[in-house]
Amino acid sequence: MNNPVLTKYILGDIELKNRLVMAPMTRSRSFVDNIPHELAPLYYSQRASAGLIITEGTQVSPNGIGYLWTPGNYTKAQQEMWQKVTDAVHEKDGIIFNQLWHTGRISHSSLRPDNLPPLAPSDIKPNGKVYTSKGWVEYETPRIMTKEDINQAINEFKIAAENAKLVGFDGVDIHGAFGYLIDQFICSGTNKRNDEYGGSLENRLRFALEVVEAVLKVWSSKRVGIKLSPANTYNDMRDDNPKETFAALLEKLNDYDLAYIMLMEPQTDISNLPNYPTNIIEYFRPFYKGNLIANAGLTKEKANYLIENNIAQLVAFGSLFLANPDLPKRFELDAPLNKPNQRTYYGGTEVGYTDYPFLTD
């Protein structure tokens, strides 16, 4: 069977062995001081046959923590383990980018070192609950970020980019999706500011672009990507006109010559939101000149279609890579796929983490 997804591709200044990307996936196994799990080097290196691995979201600072047991890259102990991860992946000729993450309002005071409510563009409390050391609790009303807070957050992304380079990553992925801090600035439902970071569409895009510019002071643009979710309602997100909002953002991002933009398909039912685009990758393709990565809900057939028709240059798989460390080989042979066990996605041990069988097992 013809598999365009298995062809080589030049991404920026890196030759990828195939077009398959291991999507960033939170695994919640950083149990001690937000240090990646001791099995993380094995977990990632098992999947080094991907053209590109993007790590789980890695908070840019303690201010960016939104969930228990998620990794950072701002302490020596965290960096030592990430170095082991990159070494293990490179030993298997893999390519790995670190996803830079700040959750903004999707957090809780008990998760923060200062025990203060989380920061956000506006003081709009998200609906829902977050898991803490005391169990599930309601989200809190976040604190409105001052200009000083905004500058600090932008600098934290820059420092995180420096730390990613320090520990041997091949590039970085800026998490601008799924209702976290950058997305909160972009979308009108979470940004009600009346300064230069809110109000007009141009102002709402400013924070995202300034984060990109800060990261580009550290990395070549050919080693930087950004993830966006133009039809996301997860984490209580809304935008008045996402078609206009994200088309404008993509057109501005054309100026930066990034390695890629990853576009995430909707993860919730948006049939009651007629102004929301549904087929994300095809809708936004005309607005961006560079590489696009399609993400979420893909099959091998759909992925091959997108590559063959030059709609996406790369395709990202999450749960299938989680459950099939040798996914490229399985696609090549049209072999059966392991089914992911959702009960072991978050927390736990090696079960559902490093014990999924390879074809040769």
Element (H, E) at 293: strand 292-295
Q: Quote the pLDDT of residue 361.
A: 56
**Banded pLDDT at 64 (limits 50, 70, 90):** very high
User: For residue range 252-299, what is the model confidence (pLDDT) as tens digits?
Assistant: 999 999 999 999 999 888 989 989 998 999 999 999 999 999 999 999
Evaluate if residue 242 carries a pLDDT over 90.
yes
Angle at 348 between CA 343 and CA 351, to 5 degrees: 75
**Domain ranges in the chain?**
4-344
Give the amino acid at 245. Answer: T
What is the CATH topology of the domain spanning 4-344? TIM Barrel (3.20.20)
**Banded pLDDT at 191 (limits 50, 70, 90):** very high
**Banded pLDDT at 209 (limits 50, 70, 90):** very high
- DSSP readout, 220-249? -GGGEEEEE-TT--TTT---S-HHHHHHHH
Give the amino acid at 183. Answer: D
Q: Which residues 6+ apart lie within 8 Å of 237 measured at CB?
A: 179, 183, 184, 187, 189, 190
Cβ 182 vs Cβ 174: under 8 Å: yes
Give the amino acid at 238. Answer: R
Average pLDDT for the chain = 97
Distance between CA 312 and CA 20 in Å, rounded? 11
Q: Helix, strand, coil: what percent of the chain each, to 5?
A: 35, 15, 50
pTM of this prediction? 0.97
Distance between CA 173 and CA 286 in Å, rounded? 22
User: For residue range 171-182, what is the model confidence (pLDDT) as tens digits?
Assistant: 999 999 999 999
| Distances in whole angstroms, Cα of residue 312 to Cα of each of 112, 227, 259, 291 | 38, 14, 13, 7
Backbone dihedral angles phi then psi of residue 360, each to the nearest 5 degrees? -80, -10
Distance between CA 328 and CA 3 in Å, rounded? 10
Q: Which residues 6+ apart lie within 8 Å of 259 measured at CB?
A: 11, 12, 14, 171, 221, 222, 223, 224, 225, 291
- Give the residue numbers annotated as catalytic, written as ranges: 180
Angle at 273 between CA 203 and CA 100, to 5 degrees: 45
**From its phi and psi, is residue 192 left (phi > 0), alpha (psi between -120 and 50) or beta?**
alpha
User: For residue range 314-324, what is the model confidence (pLDDT) as tens digits?
Assistant: 999 999 999 99
Rounded to the nearest 10°, the torsion over CA 218, 53, 25, 169 is -30
